[in-house]
């Protein structure tokens, strides 16, 4: 067996953590031959609950789980980590303005970015799941000047998986038949799931649907508002599917995407497709040997262009807000 990979998870005692940790420890993240050491960060009042989760991890006797460390100090927990999954965040509570939300999350992601900068392994890859994910990633990235920007991603894979599932259901086929799906923009209600560049059994997905009305009035809002529909039905926000998407994103980033397909990843914009540089926005990406590339040369019709521009404009506004707050 190789040396264990150190995987940090923040918000480890939360609902996503409760699904995520067991997936990582069982080998879903890095495969059946790679042992992992879990390094779990929580706020002090949640450490006791986290101890209970660690007892359950022990009770699984996972062959690949070499060690588990827990703590409330990011400087200690992030020491030597190769992978950081930043899940813990401050949710919006009643009466909270957007500025308050960004400020509260800045208080989390600014010190975590610094701690990663100072203590993580040289090869660290950082994925932000905690909302507002794109802008939290921007805050962490901006406070980690020694880590290359492209090592900071935000999660839009759950939206990507949701879009594939909706499309497959509409066309009465399997999710395996759906390829080249893209989520563009922000992980928010402005995100744009693009069927015009997706394929179903090799055929253009928009052509296969043949109904622009369904795309505009059903598909887009269902994918964009799926999180709210789950809260409505379950009485709690998506957790297992969010953990699954977090695993999918990081696994593909480390191990590569299949030939002929791509995935959606929110990555620092290099200006591709007219996105303002520097924001962390979702693109179609391929990965190989631990690096990603933004897929180039896709055609965007006027409908898609307007939606993508609107979502990126929202990210620019969020960036302005966190700049004004001194968070980046």
Positions marked catalytic: 187
Q: Nearest Cα to 72, choosing from 38, 42, 52?
A: 42
Q: Is the peptide bond before 74 cis (omega within 30 degrees of 0)?
A: no
41 vs 178 by CB, closer to ligand NAX = 41
- Tell me which long-range contacts 200-204 makes (C-beta under 8 A, separation of at least 24): 200/167, 200/168, 200/171, 200/173, 201/173, 201/177
- Give the binding-site size for ligand NAX (rule: CB under 6 A): 28
Separation of alpha carbons 150 and 249, rounded Å? 14
* Contact positions with ligand NAX (CB under 6 A) in 64-93: 87-89, 91
Rule CB under 6 A: say whether 137 interacts with ligand NAX: no
Rule CB under 6 A: say whether 19 interacts with ligand NAX: no
Residues 6+ apart with CB under 8 A from 17: 9, 11, 40, 53, 87, 88, 243
Q: Is 129 annotated as a binding residue?
A: yes
264 vs 286 by CB, closer to ligand NAX = 264
Site string (143-172) toward ligand NAX, x via CB under 6 A: ------------x--x--------------
Site string (28-47) toward ligand NAX, x via CB under 6 A: -------------xxx--x-
Q: Where are the beta strands (DSSP E) in the chain?
A: 5-10, 36-41, 65-71, 83-86, 125-128, 152-154, 178-179, 182-184, 192-194, 199-200, 203-204, 263-268, 280-288, 291-294
Rule CB under 6 A: say whether 197 interacts with ligand NAX: no
Q: Is 256 annotated as a binding residue?
A: no
Site string (222-251) toward ligand NAX, x via CB under 6 A: -----x---------xxx--x---------
Residues in contact with ligand NAX by the rule CB under 6 A: 10-11, 13-17, 41-43, 46, 87-89, 91, 108, 129-131, 133, 155, 158, 187, 227, 237-239, 242
């Amino acid at each position: 067996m190789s040396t264990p990979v150190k995987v940090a998870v923040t918000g480890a005692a939360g609902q996503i953590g409760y699904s995520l940790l067991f997936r990582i420890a069982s080998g879903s993240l890095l495969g059946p031959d790679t042992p992992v050491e879990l390094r779990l960060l929580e706020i002090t009042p949640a450490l006791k609950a986290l101890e209970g989760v660690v007892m359950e991890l022990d009770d699984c006797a996972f062959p690949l789980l070499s060690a588990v460390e827990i703590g409330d100090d990011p400087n200690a927990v992030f020491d030597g980590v190769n992978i950081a999954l930043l899940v813990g965040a401050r949710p919006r509570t009643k009466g909270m303005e957007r500025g308050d939300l960004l400020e509260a999350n800045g208080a989390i992601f600014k010190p975590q970015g610094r701690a990663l900068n100072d203590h993580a392994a040289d090869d660290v890859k950082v994925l932000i799941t905690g909302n507002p994910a794109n802008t939290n990633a921007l805050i962490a990235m901006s406070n980690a000047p020694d880590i290359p920007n492209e090592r900071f991603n935000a999660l839009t894979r759950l939206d990507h998986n949701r879009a594939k599932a909706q499309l497959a259901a509409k066309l009465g086929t399997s999710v395996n038949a759906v390829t080249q799906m893209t989520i563009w923009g922000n992980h928010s209600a402005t995100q744009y799931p693009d069927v015009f560049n997706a394929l179903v059994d090799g055929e253009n997905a928009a052509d296969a649907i043949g109904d622009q009305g369904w795309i505009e009035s059903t598909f887009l809002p269902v994918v964009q508002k799926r999180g709210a529909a789950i809260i409505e039905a379950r009485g709690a926000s998506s957790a297992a599917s969010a953990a699954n998407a977090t695993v999918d994103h990081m696994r593909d980033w480390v191990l590569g995407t299949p030939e002929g397909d791509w995935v959606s990843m929110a990555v620092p914009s290099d200006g591709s497709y007219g996105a303002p540089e520097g924001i962390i926005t979702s693109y179609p990406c391929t990965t190989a040997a631990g690096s990603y590339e933004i897929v180039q040369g896709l055609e965007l019709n006027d409908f898609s262009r307007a939606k993508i521009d609107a979502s990126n404009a929202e990210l620019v506004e969020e960036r302005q807000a966190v700049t004004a707050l001194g968070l980046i």
